[in-house]
Amino acid sequence: MSKTTSLKAGSRLEKILAEGTFAVSGECGPPKSADGSVIAEKAKLLTGYVDAVNITDNQTAVVRIASLPSAVIAQQNGMEAILQVTCRDRNRLAMQADILGAAALDVKNVLCLTGDHMSFGNHPQAKGVHDLDSINLIRMFKDMRDEKKFQCGDEMTVEPRLFIGCAENPFADPFELRVHRLRKKILAGADFVQTQCIFNIPKFKTWMEQVRAEGLHQEIKILAGITPIKGAGMAKYMKNFVPGMDVPQEIVDRVASKEKGEPQQAEGKKLAVEMIKELAEVEGVAGVHIMAVEWEPAVPEIVEAAGLLPRPVVN
C-alpha cells in the first residue's frame, strides 16, 4: 500500500506527520462578533509559518463565530484548519451533522474536546449538553470514517475523511491516569494529540517517559503545546487562575525580571523558542502546537527563531 492510500484524510498536517517531519500547528480564536475578516487576517499572518491552525469552538465558553464557518474562512485564505469540536454545546446529532458538513467543505482535521465548563464563560446560565464525552466523540468520528456508520449504527454512503485529534493534559491529576487516558483516546481512534501548554518541562518529560514505556508515541502523533508568555501578568494569571495549568514560579520570575512591555514580550518569545528546541529533542514528540492566545503576531518570529522554517510544501 502506498503512503498516499494509507492516509486517513490526506490533510497537510497528516502528510507532514506521516513523513516524519516535525510539525507546527497554531491556533486561531474566532472573534466575538460577525467580523469574519479577523479570521482571514489571522490565517494570512500564520500562512507559511504553521502547517495548520486550530479553530477554537467557543473557547473558554465564550460565544464567538462558530468553529466550522471560521475553519472554512481560514481555508479560503490559504490556511489549513484543525476544527475544534467540544461536547459542551452540541449533542451527537449536531456534532455528526457538523462533521459531515466539515468534510463536505474540505475541512479534514478535527480536534475532539470535552470543552471548558459553562461557568467559566459569558453565559454561565447555559445548559451544558455533554451528551458524549471526548472519548465517545473520537470513537463516533472514527466509526463514521472507518465503518461508514453513524453513532446509531445506520450506514452512510460517503464517509467523512478525517484526521482525528485529541487533547491531553500531562499536568492534571491524578498524574498516573494521564497516560492511561491517552491510551484510551488512541484506542478510541485518535490519530494525533495536542498537549496542554507546557511550562513544567521536567514533568512533561516524566509523562513522555511513561508514554514511551507503553509505546504510545508509536501509535499517535504527539504535538507538544507551547504558549508564548506576553508578560508577567499573563504568567501569574495562568499560574493562579487557569484550570489545568502548571506554570513553575521560576518561569513567572524570569519574565517578571524584565521591564514591562516590549522587554517582557521579548523574554516570553525567547522562552518559547528555548522550550520548542528542548521539546523537539524529546523522543516521541512529533511537533509543536503553538497557542499564542490573542498574540498571533508573535508566532512567525518564534517559529523562525526555533529553526522551523521553511515549512514543508506538501501536495
Residues that bind another protein (CB under 8 A): 87-88, 92, 114-115, 117, 119-120, 128, 130-136, 139-140, 151, 167-169, 172-174, 177, 180-181, 183-184, 187-188, 196, 243-244
Give the three-class secondary structure for 126: coil
CB of 196 to another protein, least distance (A): 6
Closest to another protein by CB, 125 or 157: 125
CB of 174 to another protein, least distance (A): 6
CB of 100 to another protein, least distance (A): 18
HSE on the CB side for 160, CA within 13 Å? Answer: 26
| Contact between residue 63 and residue 105 where contact means Cβ atoms under 8 Å apart | no
Closest to another protein by CB, 58 or 134: 134
CB of 187 to another protein, least distance (A): 6
CB of 89 to another protein, least distance (A): 12
CB of 213 to another protein, least distance (A): 15
| Alpha-carbon distance values, 81 to 32, 55, 244, 299 (Å) | 19, 6, 25, 16
Buried/exposed code over 145-168 (b: 16+ C-beta within 10 A; e: otherwise): beeeebbeeeeeeebbbbbbbbbb
- DSSP letter, residue 227: -
Closest to another protein by CB, 77 or 134: 134
Closest to another protein by CB, 21 or 136: 136
Closest to another protein by CB, 41 or 131: 131
Q: How far apart are CA 195 and CA 182, in angstroms?
A: 10
| Contact between residue 39 and residue 99 where contact means Cβ atoms under 8 Å apart | no
Closest to another protein by CB, 6 or 241: 241
Amino acid at 218: Q
DSSP annotation string for 159-196: ----EEEEEE-TTSSSHHHHHHHHHHHHHHT-SEEEEE
